[in-house]
Amino acid sequence: MVPSKFAYHKPTTLKEAIDLLSTHGDDSKILSGGHSLVPVLKLRLNDPEHIIDVSGVASMGGIKDNEKSITIGANSTHAEIANNAALKEHAPMIAIAASMIGDIQVRNFGTIGGSIAHADPAADWPAVLLAADANVVISGANGNRTVDIDQFFKGLFMTAVGEEEIITAISIPKSAFNKNSTYVKFAQPASRFALVGCAVAVANADGYVTEARVAFNGVSATPFRDGNVEKSLKGSVLNGDAIATATASVADGVSIMSDHFAAENYRKHMAGVYARKALSALA
């Protein structure tokens, strides 16, 4: 399969990339690893006239271990994230999710920035970033802005990123809940995408839960945190009874996806099963 014709640009600075985006507007598309966009171009689901390859923008790469947070450059690959020592220590669910994406080849070149910009409902990043209370740094002609992850995912393949903006980094706070976190997924057996993915992050003090964050992808067109589960866990001792009570009605009131892989009631049921698996791993 061959994509439609386009012109290829490879800026080396963020400013150059933003200028190109402003010049070509909605005739253009950013390319990072290309592992979502190239398949889309080959199927001709999209036919931009200009491709702006940001993989050479140095300021969008690297993982920085700061005092209170870890900054993941948008161009960081899933493999780099899976192997990062600071993330393994301070937010294990981030490294775990990265190691579960696709296969060796996809993890070598697919990036976190490309994945969250694409906003596939079955992708693995949304749940862990929601549970982690991440911030997304977005740059445009008017400078940088930071978007709280709760405001980032807007629906099926839709995000808070504007037409002429670029995601430059994702920041993960170093917090008690991120330190005690995990991610589990019920993978579609062929593609490895998530039919259900559940990320949990729980802070405890004196044996009681002080804060619980429980998020899902794959379940609904928009990834979400389940406030009922989180509230139920808060103040409890994280044991089998508390987990059973909290997960009795996972994803209530959420509009659940249904497709030929998993029907609505099955997905909802599996969301509960995977929430219990994830929480039990932290109990």
Partner 1 sequence: MKVPVSITVNGKQYDKMVEPRMLLVYFIREELALTGTHIGCDTSSCGACTVHLDGKALKSCSMLAVQASGKSVTTIEGMASGENLHPLQEGFHMEHGLQCGFCTPGMIMCAADMLKNNPNPTEEEIRHGLEGNFCRCTGYHNIVKSIQYAANKMQESA
Ligand X SMILES: Cc1cc2nc3c(=O)[nH]c(=O)nc-3n(C[C@H](O)[C@H](O)[C@H](O)COP(=O)(O)OP(=O)(O)OC[C@H]3O[C@@H](n4cnc5c(N)ncnc54)[C@H](O)[C@@H]3O)c2cc1C
Query: Do 199 and 128 contact (CB within 8 A), yes or no?
Result: yes
Total residues binding partner 1 (CB under 8 A): 30
**Which one of the spans 61-69, 110-118, 143-151, 204-212 is the region binding ligand X (CB under 6 A)?**
110-118
Is residue 76 part of the contact set for ligand X (CB under 6 A)?
A: no
Is residue 33 part of the contact set for ligand X (CB under 6 A)?
A: yes
Nearer to ligand X, 65 or 164 (CB): 164
Nearer to ligand X, 59 or 180 (CB): 59
Is residue 23 part of the contact set for partner 1 (CB under 8 A)?
A: no
Q: Match 């389940």 to its residue by tokens.
A: 226
**Which one of the spans 174-182, 190-198, 214-222, 265-273 is the region binding partner 1 (CB under 8 A)?**
190-198
Interacting residue with ligand X among 69, 76, 84, 111 (CB under 6 A): 111
Nearer to partner 1, 1 or 205 (CB): 1
Is residue 140 part of the contact set for partner 1 (CB under 8 A)?
A: no
Q: Which residues bind ligand X (CB under 6 A)?
A: 29-37, 39, 54, 74, 101-102, 106, 110-111, 113-115, 117-118, 123-125, 161, 166-167, 191-193
